[in-house]
Amino acid sequence: MKLFIKKPIKQLMAATAETEKSLKRTLGVGSLIALGIGAIIGAGIFVRTAAAAGEHAGPAVTISFIIAAAGCALAGLCYSEFASMIPIAGSAYTYSYATMGEFIAWIIGWDLVLEYALGAATVSIGWSQYFNEFLNTFFNVHIPYALSHSFFETSNTTAGMYAAELGTRGIINLPAILILFLLTLLLIRGTAESAAVNNVIVVVKVAIVLMIIGLGWHFINPVFHTPYLIPADAGKVAVSTGVVDYASTFNHGWLGVLRGASVVFFAFIGFDAVSTAAQEAKNPQKDMPKGILISLVFCTLLYVLFSHVLTGLVSYKDFLIQGKEASVTYAIQHAMPGYNWLANFVTVAILAGFSSVILVMLLGQTRVFYTMSTDGLIPPIFSKLHPKFRTPYKSQWLFFVFVSLFAGFIPDRIVGDMVSIGTLFAFVLVCLGIFILRRTDPGLVRPFKTPWYMVVCPLGAAICLCMIASEGWENWARLIVWLLIGFCIYFGYSIKRSHVRKGVVERAGEPINPKFVE
């Protein structure tokens, strides 16, 4: 059956020619860096930081960020080599097709749905909560709890704008679906237009993060940083989805820090989303590595400083009880007297920031499926381009429906954990892919080379595997079920229609005879 049949890199490169039926090359290095920052700075810093600190790492969430960043930096070097060498839409899916074969490529492509589609769902849920905060702050109104939360959540707070809704169960998260709809329309309009909007948003939210770090530093209370690691006897905290017991293995101490790293790892997935836009970059060989690595380094520094300030303003337990998704606003309002204006400004900026993250995640997802579709592994509807805008508009609408189901009906904690484990799994295979390709095809032209690949590749894979190991059994179960569904589709549909198996090469989304490819 030849499960591991590979797609030759020469055939991959045949798809790079720009025609009227291909993706349009409109992105320069500045836009690529902005895309990376736009995806990275968002839910990770404004929502997942508080979640990881409150439930697992406490003030030591700063160390969790460093661990996650180390794994991402090593994987980022591998991504950069692949992106410069194979500047094709599809990210890790495309890379693994050339190095480890079709079956592994399918697993990666299917797994990337957890990263991009569910990533967009997670961020849209956070957007919904800040949107409610925005309405309450500026207009003294709010969307009812039942219409802004999933069925699996129940209001358990006696403070804030939901005081009258204590015990109310959610039904559907309508604001999350609304933002997904609006951004889907923008993405259909065009990549260049989407990138222009993203660039403006990035400037705004980076400025806000710097303001919080600079102004909040003077209000840090050392009491909240002592002890730095959560002790095993920290007790229990009731939350909307159950009870957090700090005595549990991965909810305190260094194992809690490691678990926190797997949670905040979600904050770094933006850098590899840059690689999905390779086929829309003007000069991918030179600009893709810059876009990936510069955005990663810049955001890591901001993350560590921001998390240090945030955990120094209020107790980490407050992030579970009072702040929840809007923890940044809560911390400013309760620990920085006289800066309510900043909290209000932060709410607006965060809404814009979240929007850019969702934008990049939705873009990345449809580009991965665009490439899988041109390979024949999924139906051609996913590579159908708009006659005027040359964007995969039908795919955008299909993923709008899919992502909305998760955003509207599933809590962000569950969706976010699925994103983390799916992304880590993809990173492991990317690191192994570079190692394999260096050994099997050392003569390939590599505009960017991963330094010390004999160390970087195995170490990157090992760090990501350690973070995967800290995931709870529930997340492993969800990943296994998701992969089993993917296997059914692959063996029932994809393997019979694979263009590589039929000796067909894709050029600009259309099959051609491989004998014409030089």
Domain limits, the chain: 9-513
Segment among 133-137, 234-238, 268-272, 486-490 with least mean pLDDT: 268-272
Whether the pLDDT of residue 511 is over 60: the answer is no
**pLDDT in the model for residue 201:** 78
User: Between these two residues, 335 and 30, which has the higher pLDDT value?
Assistant: 335
Segment among 17-31, 268-282, 396-410, 455-469 with least mean pLDDT: 17-31
User: Between these two residues, 171 and 265, which has the higher pLDDT value?
Assistant: 171
242-245/505-507 β-pairing: unpaired
Whether the pLDDT of residue 181 is over 50: the answer is yes
- As a whole number, mean pLDDT of residues 465-484 equals 83
CA triple 348-354-356, angle to 5 deg: 110
**pLDDT in the model for residue 507:** 45
Whether the pLDDT of residue 515 is over 60: the answer is no
**pLDDT in the model for residue 435:** 92
Whether the pLDDT of residue 262 is over 90: the answer is no
What distance separates the 2 farthest-apart alpha carbons in the chain? 71
- As a whole number, mean pLDDT of residues 238-257 equals 82
Grade residue 504 by pLDDT with cuts at 50, 70 and 90: low
Tokens of 326: 């809007």
Give which of 371, 331, 469, 432 is closest to 16, Cα–Cα.
371
**pLDDT in the model for residue 312:** 95
Instruction: Quote the pTM value.
Output: 0.74
Q: What is the CA radius of gyration of the chain?
A: 22
Q: Are 370 and 382 in contact (CB under 8 A)?
A: yes
Whether the pLDDT of residue 293 is over 70: the answer is yes
pLDDT tens, position by position, 50-95: 888 988 999 999 999 999 888 888 888 888 888 777 766 666 787 7
Q: At what angle do helices 327-335 and 191-216 cross, to 10 degrees?
A: 30
Cβ neighbourhood burial of 452 (10 Å; 0-12, 13-18, 19+): exposed
Residue with tokens 């015990």: 167
Out of 1.20.1740.10, 1.10.3210.10, 3.40.50.620, 3.40.50.2300, the CATH code matching 9-513 is 1.20.1740.10
265: Cβ contacts below 8 Å, ≥ 6 apart: 68, 71, 72, 420, 423, 424, 467
Segment among 178-187, 259-268, 269-278, 448-457 with least mean pLDDT: 269-278
Whole-number percent of the chain with pLDDT over 70: 84
- As a whole number, mean pLDDT of residues 360-382 equals 89
Whether the pLDDT of residue 211 is over 70: the answer is yes
The DSSP output letter for 59 is G
Grade residue 240 by pLDDT with cuts at 50, 70 and 90: low
78: Cβ contacts below 8 Å, ≥ 6 apart: 430, 431, 433, 434, 450, 456, 457, 460
Whether the pLDDT of residue 223 is over 90: the answer is yes
Q: Are 109 and 119 in contact (CB under 8 A)?
A: no
